[in-house]
Amino acid sequence: PRLDHSLTIAVLAASVCLAAFGLRRRKVSGVVADGIDQCIGNTPLVKVHSLSRATGCEIYAKLELANPGGSAKDRVALAIIRKNEKNGVIKPGRGDTIFEGTSGSTGISFAMLCDSLGYKAHICLPSDTSEEKLQLLESFGAIIEKVKPASIVDPNQYVNAARRGAEVMSQDPSSTSVGVFADQFENDSNWRIHYTTTGPEIWNQLQGKLDYFVTGSGTGGTIAGCARFFKEQKRKVQVFLADPQGSGLYNRIKHGVMFDTVEKEGTRRRHQVDTVIEGIGLNRVTHNFHMGESFIDDSVRVLDEEAMKMASYLCRNDGLFLGSSSCINAVGVLKLIKEGVIPESSTVCFIACDSGNRHLSKFWLEARLYKDIELDDIITSAVHKL
């Protein structure tokens, strides 16, 4: 009987262990996401072998293009929705609508998330936004409002149109639903989500072995959140802004003023120069950029043509099919290394914001022509060229 008793105890102990293991396993192997929102973030960090080999540095790209909506903006859109839910402003299923003024990525992220979370997305964008982005927005069922390209001081500019749309909807006494202006440029949730997710992910993926971080600024959320996080971990991490032609941010970081020419603050970047770079570069200081400004060490100017050459080079050599802003960042890295600002053996990370898919009809139309480009022929201007 004593044997029987021990056997029972052993069997019981074994079943408890198995159950616990089973539970743990189920939890650990929880690979099934409960919705598309749960697939956002935790994007891969990939070593860019071609650039690393050629420069003697370890160069990594944070593949934000791997988010389900195709860009880092998924993080921001979800954070803005959750914050509004938490504050009791919006509720799913009653027609509440998120209004946003965006030239692309953020609108796509809202459009992807809104329907699945029980909301509507109303996207205001300039009429010269690329066809690929418009088609995506339509596929996700967003309400699209195209407005004439204009500067931010114009009341009909797309960001102002979105703000007005939300106000009109919320003030309508006959409406039971609420309109919310997402306001990615000024919304604090933007830089904070990069501070709490993108930055820590990179830091953990590199196990703290990061020396330089290079990225561009649209709203400024990515650079502000990541820079602030990195500096808090290691003061010596250096952060560089990679800025395209026509943007005043380069001068703002370099000289403390946006313009040293006849250009006016608030003017539209694409009016000043003929550029195909989308998503980054601005001629005003947004709240999100401001939140990171003191953590940015320096800036590097990158030309459209250099970015196109880099696009072709990375596609051929590393299988990285990148969008225009990602390539601006990659050129920024290469320039800083070539000019000795970043020394050999450094660990460098740049953001790969979105894939080339969204840039086929503009940026990639020309980038394709550089298919035989050599690394030494990518850079044609100096780091400090305006």
The binding site for ligand PMP (CB under 6 A) comprises: 71, 73, 104-105, 216-223, 278-280, 323, 325, 353-354
Instruction: Report the distance separating Cα 132 and Cα 323, nearest Å.
Output: 12
Comparison of 177 and 366: residue with beta carbon closer to ligand PMP: 366
Min dist. Cβ of residue 353 to ligand PMP (A):
3
Comparison of 169 and 193: residue with beta carbon closer to ligand PMP: 193
Min dist. Cβ of residue 221 to ligand PMP (A):
4
Instruction: Report the distance separating Cα 332 and Cα 15, nearest Å.
Output: 58
- Strand order through the sheet with 212-215: 45-47, 58-63, 347-352, 212-215, 238-244, 298-302
Within the chain, residue ranges assigned H as helices are 2-28, 49-55, 73-86, 105-117, 131-140, 158-171, 188-193, 199-205, 221-233, 249-255, 269-272, 287-293, 304-318, 324-338, 363-367
Comparison of 105 and 197: residue with beta carbon closer to ligand PMP: 105
Min dist. Cβ of residue 196 to ligand PMP (A):
14
Q: Between the CA of residue 266 and those of 128, 249, 281, what are the distances in Å?
A: 19, 12, 12
Comparison of 246 and 323: residue with beta carbon closer to ligand PMP: 323
Comparison of 170 and 357: residue with beta carbon closer to ligand PMP: 357
Cβ proximity of 152 and 160 under 8 Å? yes
SS3 53: helix
Min dist. Cβ of residue 204 to ligand PMP (A):
20
Min dist. Cβ of residue 170 to ligand PMP (A):
25
Nearest one of 124, 125, 121 to 96, comparing CA atoms: 121
Comparison of 198 and 251: residue with beta carbon closer to ligand PMP: 198
Min dist. Cβ of residue 241 to ligand PMP (A):
10
